[in-house]
Structure 1
Amino acid sequence: MEHNRYYIAHRQEYGYDSATVADLNQYVARNVATLKRAIRAKVKIAMGSDAVFTGFGENTRELRWFVQAGMTPAQALHTATAAGAELLGKEKELGAIAPGYFADLVAVEGDPLKDINVVIDHVKWVMKAGRTVVDYTKGPATKSP
């Protein structure tokens, strides 16, 4: 869903005509319907895609689709953490904040359990492999080496 949203938003860059955009919108609608059925059937869902597109850095927008389709914000966050680790067979290494686990962390402004949009639009700090790599709390786009 999300990668098709990206293609629609950047249709001029890709040279997509209105017929292609209409097809992409229909594809998104079918994906949303399938996601809703999967949620109701309690299918284990992980955030992410095997699609190669240039929307890197916008991946968390997929969480918004999950909530719109019926997940709680907590369930949507689970798709991006523990569920992904479980489906990869890496649940003893990834997907949790615990000793011995590899974890990248973000701090957000707001409560992501009440509003998933804070994870998408209000990230204030990022830690990767134990080092702060982005810190917006000190002003615009302060990045650590």
Structure 2
Amino acid sequence: GGVYQAGTLSGNPLAMAAGIASLTKAKKKTKLYDKLGKLAKKLTQGMKKLADEKGLPLQACHVGSMFGYFFTKDPVSNYQDALKSNLALFSKFHKNMLENGIYLAPSQFETGFICSKMDDKIIDTTLEAVRESFKRI
């Protein structure tokens, strides 16, 4: 069947050239992906630990450099599970994180990403903001 696709730079020759160049360069830096995965793991495990200490129901996971989290006590493995999460807690957390200078996706259904410019110090700073944000929930 048909699939809808749209994008600001879809099919743009300059965007395509930039994408190919970026992927070619990234393929040569295999250690980069290991680093990104380790940082995402540190972030999600840290968030889960802090939530547990505070008694907040949180599921946090990552795949490679992508991460996500839901305020629920039950594991989230599909959309129906995600719908059962606590949107009010997510909203409070998101607002608190903004006030702590950390900009996360505004929807609990969006994925977060670790990028090559991030390091342990940034993850530690983020986790400290998580700790402070959880205190105000």
Instruction: Give the TM-score of the pair, scaled to structure 2.
Output: 0.31
The structure with the largest helix share of the pair is 2
More relative contact order, 1 or 2 (CA 8 Å, 6+ apart): 2
